[in-house]
Amino acid sequence: MEAFSFSGKHVLITGAGSGIGRLMALGAARRGASHIVLWDLNPAGIKAVAEEISALGVKASIHKVDVSQRASVIAAASAVIEDIGHLDVLVNNAGIVSGKSFLELEEKDITSTFGVNTLALFWTIQAFLPGMLERDSGRLVSIASAAGIAGSTKLTDYSGSKFAAVGVMEALRAELREAASSVSALTVYPFYINTGMFDGVKSSSPLLRIQNQDVATAKILDAIESPRRELFLPGMVYSVRIFRLLPAAAFDWIADAFGINKAMKNFRGRKK
C-alpha cells in the first residue's frame, strides 16, 4: 500500500462534535482536505466545528446522525453522496462508554454501547465502501481502543464492543487484500485520551500515561496519511499482543501490575 494524502479529499468523521473527532476534522482541513463531513448526535457541536473549518477556507457539511441505527446512517449517507459525489476517507470515531461494573449494566447500556462502538462500523462502511471499491480508492479508519485487546474492570460492555470492532476491521482488511483492492483500512488502539470521555480515569504506570488529545490526534492523522494498518497509542500498547503469549494467569498478573484494573476506579465520564 502506498502513502495516502488528505489533499483534495472528501472526509467523513463520526462523533465529530467534540473531542478527537473535532480535532481530526480540523486537522484534516489543515492538511488540505477539500470537504469535511461531520456526523454527530449533537447538532450544536458539529455546527460549531463546521464554522471552525469554514474559517480555514475548507467546505464543511453537517448531519445529525445516530450511527447505531442503520436507517439513520443510510439516509445521511445518501445525502452525503448526493451532495459531494463520493467519499475518500471514512473515520469511525463515535464511541460511548458506560463505565459500569458487569452486574450494574442495564440492557440499554449494553445495546447502546455495541450499537455505537460496533454495529455502526457495519452500517457506515456498507454505505460508503461500494463507491470506494468502484473507484478503487479510499481509506477506512476505526478508532478502536486498547480495551479492544485487553479487558478491564468496569469496561465489560465497552471492551467487548471494541474487541468486536477490532475483529471487524481485521476481517475487512483480509477481504480487501483478497480482492486486490487499493482501498485500505486502519485500526487505531488508543489508551485513555484526555478528551473528557474518560474523565476521572487515572493511570498508575509511567509506561501507560493518559494520552494528550492534541498529540494523539496528530499521530492518528499521520497514520491515516501513511501505509499503516494499525496504530498503537502509546506504542507500549503493542506489548499486550506479546504478553498474550503467556498463560492467562501470568497475563492477568501483568495487567494488575500495570494498574489497568484500577484505572476506572474514579471514572466520571464526560459531563452531559
* pLDDT per position as a tens digit, 4-55: 899 999 999 999 999 999 999 999 999 999 999 999 999 999 999 999 999 9
Q: Which of 228, 185, 221, 188 is nearest to 32 (CA)?
A: 221
- 124: phi then psi, degrees, rounded to nearest 5: -70, -45
Q: How far apart are CA 268 and CA 102, in angstroms?
A: 17
158 among known catalytic residues: yes
Query: What pLDDT is stored for residue 208 in this prediction?
Result: 67
SS3 of 95, please? coil
Task: Check residue 262 and give its pLDDT.
Answer: 62
Whole-structure pTM value = 0.92
Mean pLDDT per block of 10 residues along the chain (272 residues) reads 88 96 98 98 97 98 98 98 97 94 96 98 98 97 93 92 98 98 96 68 63 92 97 87 92 81 57 50
Question: Which is catalytic among the residues 158, 189, 192, 238?
Answer: 158
Which pLDDT score, from 0 to 100, does residue 239 have?
86
Among 152, 241, 246, CA closest to 205: 152
Of 142, 191, 184, 146, the closest CA to residue 165 belongs to 142
Beta pairing class for 139-143 and 89-92: parallel
Predicted local confidence at residue 272, as pLDDT: 47
Q: What is the DSSP string of 14-32?
A: ETTTSHHHHHHHHHHHHTT
